[in-house]
Amino acid sequence: MHKYVIRRVLLLIPIILGVTFIVYFILALTPGDPARFILGSNATDASVEALREQLGLNKPIILRYFTYLAKALRGDFGLSYSDSRPVFDSILVRWPVTVKLALFSTFLSMVIGIPAGIISALKHRSRIDVSFTLVSMIMLGMPSFWLALVLMLVFSLSLRWFPSSGIGGWQHFILPVATMSIGTSASLMRLVRSTMLDTIKQDYIITARAKGAPERVVILRHALKNALMIIITQIGLTFTALLAGAVLIEQVYGLPGLGTLTLIAIRSKDIPMVMGTTIFMAIISTLMILLLDIIYAWIDPRIKAKYVGGSH
């Protein structure tokens, strides 16, 4: 098993390097001078040029990238152009908000989507199935920013049940998590429904029922277990999508997470900060991919047979 994990880890390294390469070159080629942003519009050309030289912005792009990469591999992500604070320190303060938001939203999507998908598949073409399908289509069609404003208007401004912005206790996460999980739970429900419909039509399910196995055992032990590979993949993709989608939700609800920090850095062309947040989120996403691969190896006996013992 350890050979399988090592191989998957090695495959993730080019992904992270590719992300850093693309983001760095996009930032370097976009209009705007970071030195001018730092010093302001009233700064003289001489002072701007001196700062560009100090920051190394006059060097070729490829040389700047490899210089940055060498420092990043040593844990030095540079200083923010905006406040001259270490980028790593700013990320450490903000990352829990974004990761909590993505984790809570993924968990709520699972709690809603998986049972609803199973019930919809078992009640195929019934009123329950039609109702669940209709509701899921409506949920998928609602833009997240519009839904966030509606929930804020109803539950915060009108009913005053939850705070509308800021960060504090668990109450501040309820509306953002609900906003992010509604669409993803509908998507997960439709996937579970289609997967379960295909699974319960298989011969081994019909055989299990013919042998008199209880329906709960047939569904949970046979049908759901064999559909887990596709469902687990979707859950991992849901988490990574929510991690990226937290940028918009954090802006709407005023949450001080990595998404808000990244947008502020992009507007001021704070290259070290954008690169730091991008690398951090890329690492979290790749770790989720690694976790999925490990779960695959645990569930799928074919992977175990290939790597355990080293005989094949």
| Residue 284 clears pLDDT 50, i.e. is over it | yes
Which whole-number Å values give the CA distances from 19 to 243, 277, 281, 285, in the listed order? 16, 12, 10, 11
Q: Is residue 166 helix, strand or coil? A: coil
Residue 306's pLDDT is 64
Q: How far apart are CA 120 and CA 133, in angstroms?
A: 8
Q: How far apart are CA 143 and CA 179, in angstroms?
A: 10
Q: How far apart are CA 205 and CA 192, in angstroms?
A: 17
Check if the beta carbon of residue 273 is closer than 8 Å to that of residue 261: yes
Q: Which amino acid does the sequence have at 5?
A: V
Q: How far apart are CA 53 and CA 46, in angstroms?
A: 11
pLDDT tens track for 44-91:
878 888 888 887 888 888 888 888 888 888 888 888 888 888 888 888
Intervals of CATH 1.10.3720.10 along the chain = 95-307
pTM, whole model, 2 decimals? 0.79
Nearest to 293 by CA among 284, 301, 303: 303
Question: If you count them, how many residues does the chain have?
Answer: 312
| Residue 312 clears pLDDT 70, i.e. is over it | no
Mean pLDDT across the chain:
82
Interval 161-185 mean pLDDT: 83
| Domain topology for 95-307 | MetI-like fold (1.10.3720)
Nearest to 282 by CA among 270, 271, 293, 290: 290
Confidence of residue 311 (pLDDT cuts 50, 70, 90): very low
Interval 273-302 mean pLDDT: 80
pLDDT tens track for 16-43:
888 888 888 888 887 777 887 777 777 7
| Residue 217 clears pLDDT 50, i.e. is over it | yes
